[in-house]
Amino acid sequence: MDAPGRVRPRTLASLLAGRSAYRASQLLATVALLPVWGTARYGIFGGAVATFSWIVALLVAGPEKTVLKLLPRAPRTGPLIVRAAAAVLWAVPAPVLAAFAVSALVAPHGAVAVYLGAATTATMTGVVLLLVGLHRAMGRPWYDSRTFLALAAVQLGLLGLAAAGLGPLGYLAALAAAQTALCVPLLLRLGRPSLVIRHRPAFVRRIACTVALMGTPEVCLYLCTSVLVALLSASAFRDQVGPLVVVDVVWSAGVNLLLYVLRVYTPWVSVRLVGAGGASGRRTALRVVRWVVAADLAYLAVLGAAGAELFAASRGPAAPVVWAVLLLARTPMLMAVILAGYLVENSDAASTRITGLAAAVGLAAAALSGVVAVPLAGGVGLLAALAVAEVAQAATLWHRLARRPAPAPVEEDVHVAA
């Protein structure tokens, strides 16, 4: 397996075009299907989709980041990982596809079929994301852009069919069929699936550990917001949830774009962070998190000084402006801590424990500070709790990186050494 080259601007533009078209079609469908189906039918559909959205993160956050990191630096064991991934991805969709088909035939008018359809499309979305990630890591980025342009076209076509009378069950069935049709050639292109890797249990355990640790930061990032929004919904300031969530969805689109761009560059970055390169990356990350701690403490100081004015403004019609300004103000710190974690987790095996621990500490800090701040200050308290979580995460990275000895250079990541 050859070392990956730097991603060309033209390739990056193509990848972003495919993903942007897909996201735009999803957003359009989300907005347009409500008036098309009505509140009752859309309520079942929306609830089903929201219930199973975690499946996508489960399949993508850890597994995709792991293969993007390990394949380029594991020439001996990389093919084993690819063949095992192919075998797993052939098998994973089968049970949910079968369950959905049976429920659609037996009880086509019930909510169970719609919920199983949402679980199926979420599973297939995760499989598609993991497959195109594998192909990017193997030097075939065009599969990513073409696949998501095709999915965007499918979404628009299904939206037209929904306007013509297609219901939620038919919509989900058609989407699952299209996703499956796109997955088959992607799987075939990976080559012959094989689980020979199971004869090396220690190796499999290391891979599983890497998947869990690599996925923790991203999962915790989303959980911080989810936990705090849940606290806001249960507080006396529940009327702030709608405007705040709308602004957050728009703002988080930029965060998701950064996460995707980092994934695109991961294979290239990974091979440059082996050995001495990894030590240099961790030193850079250490400098970055020191700045993040200082900047977030300054942000919290401003929130404290202007707390009364911000709280009053957040209770009036200017609330969306308040949320937008406060979210934009913390954007540099969030981007910086994400980049620092990216450099650390892609350096070597031991570093994934550092980023996983830091993310978990940040989540705990968000929950604990949110329990106090959100009931007192509503959305302003929510944003303060996010800043506290960021301070805790960055401070943990600072502490662990500062006391970690420099490791000896290695040719392959210790998780995948033959």
Calculate mean pLDDT across residues 302-306.
91
Q: Looking at residue 8, what DSSP letter applies?
A: P
For residues 41 and 193, give the distance between their C-alpha atoms in angstroms, rounded to a whole number: 41
Q: Mean pLDDT score of the chain, rounded to an integer?
A: 86
pLDDT on residue 334? 93
Contact 186, 135 (CB under 8 A): yes
Is the predicted pLDDT of residue 414 greater than 50, yes or no? Answer: no
Is the predicted pLDDT of residue 264 greater than 50, yes or no? Answer: yes
Per-residue pLDDT reduced to its tens digit, 4-22 = 556 788 888 999 999 989 9
Which region, left, alpha or beta, applies to residue 139 given φ > 0 means left and ψ of -120 to 50 means alpha?
A: left
Question: Most distant CA pair in the chain: distance in Å?
Answer: 64
Determine the 3-state secondary structure of 315 from DSSP.
coil
Calculate mean pLDDT across residues 178-191.
93
Which residues lie below 8 Å from residue 303, measured CB to CB, with a gap of 6+? 310, 326, 380, 383, 384, 387
Q: Can you read off the two tokens belonging to residue 163?
A: 């306007």
Q: How many CA atoms lie within 13 A of 195 on its CB side?
A: 7
pLDDT on residue 331? 92
Calculate mean pLDDT across residues 263-286.
87
pLDDT on residue 57? 76
Cα-based distances in Å from 101 to 43, 90, 154, 356:
22, 17, 20, 38
For residues 374 and 231, give the distance between their C-alpha atoms in angstroms, rounded to a whole number: 7
For residues 115 and 49, give the distance between their C-alpha atoms in angstroms, rounded to a whole number: 7
Is the predicted pLDDT of residue 192 greater than 90, yes or no? Answer: no
pLDDT on residue 210? 86
For residues 192 and 110, give the distance between their C-alpha atoms in angstroms, rounded to a whole number: 39
Calculate mean pLDDT across residues 209-223.
86
Per-residue pLDDT reduced to its tens digit, 275-289 = 788 889 999 999 999
| Host H or E run for residue 285 | helix 276-305
Calculate mean pLDDT across residues 369-389.
94
For residues 159 and 145, give the distance between their C-alpha atoms in angstroms, rounded to a whole number: 21
Is the predicted pLDDT of residue 166 greater than 60, yes or no? Answer: yes
pLDDT on residue 78? 76
Q: Can you read off the two tokens belonging to residue 367?
A: 């929950």
pLDDT on residue 105? 92
Is the predicted pLDDT of residue 2 greater than 50, yes or no? Answer: no
Q: Of 15, 90, 65, which is closest to residue 356 (Cα–Cα)?
A: 65
Calculate mean pLDDT across residues 354-366.
95
pLDDT on residue 417? 41
Q: How many CA atoms lie within 13 A of 279 on its CB side?
A: 10
Question: For the whole model, what pTM was predicted?
Answer: 0.79
pLDDT on residue 143? 93
For residues 339 and 124, give the distance between their C-alpha atoms in angstroms, rounded to a whole number: 29
Q: How confident is the model at residue 406 (pLDDT cuts 50, 70, 90)?
A: low
For residues 395 and 333, give the distance between their C-alpha atoms in angstroms, rounded to a whole number: 13
Q: How many CA atoms lie within 13 A of 6 on its CB side?
A: 2
pLDDT on residue 1? 45
pLDDT on residue 405? 59
Is the predicted pLDDT of residue 188 greater than 90, yes or no? Answer: yes
pLDDT on residue 412? 46
Q: Can you read off the two tokens belonging to residue 95?
A: 């049970």
pLDDT on residue 201? 84
Contact 46, 115 (CB under 8 A): no
Percent of the chain with pLDDT over 90: 42
Q: How confident is the model at residue 401 (pLDDT cuts 50, 70, 90)?
A: very high
Calculate mean pLDDT across residues 308-323.
86
Is the predicted pLDDT of residue 75 greater than 80, yes or no? Answer: no
Per-residue pLDDT reduced to its tens digit, 115-140 = 999 999 999 999 999 999 899 888 88
pLDDT on residue 407? 55
Can you tell me which residue has the tokens 């079929």? 113
